[in-house]
Structure 1
Amino acid sequence: MKKGNSDPLTDAQKAELAALEALPDSTIDTTDAPPVTDWTGAQRGKFYRPVKKLLSLRLDADLIAWFKEDGEGYQTRINEALREYVEKHRGESVS
């Protein structure tokens, strides 16, 4: 799924965020937020997104065609395949 970029922050929004960041935690009113006591549905790392780097990479045309067969998101699928390979081979010596 492709996501668009958010609109850039205005100067007023940046100033408001800076002012909020400067506040000590003790001044934050959390009385309207109920305490979370049930964590059974929690998922560790759900919102974690690794830093992406732009890279030019030469791949065989048949590999690209295979990943593109399922439509949009082929780059994500290539990334997932590489990550799976790395996880499987992590700790092995590279020769």
Structure 2
Amino acid sequence: MTGKDIRRAGLSDLRRMKESGELRPPIKAEPAPDLPDDFWDDADVINHGKPKEAISLRVDPDILEFFKAQGKGHLTRMNAVLRSYVDAQKSKASRKA
């Protein structure tokens, strides 16, 4: 979006714009389908280039063992799964707004 696409409007302006059809309703998205069992088979870890913050995190032992069993980089993969979830939730929230 460029600067010329941005306008200021008060509540009364927005109500008038909505009534006159100038504002479009948000797109109603279909619910996400169930993912197939092999969904993550070809997934790649993407580094977003931002520095990580060190924390202490408690996870279930089987979760940790699952990621460790995949070899070196288990914490990076765990972060990638969390990143995927956060991005999906943000995308879903922006569609609702």
The TM-score range, normalised by the shorter chain, is: 0.3 to 0.5
Return the TM-score normalized by structure 2.
0.44
Return the TM-score normalized by structure 1.
0.45
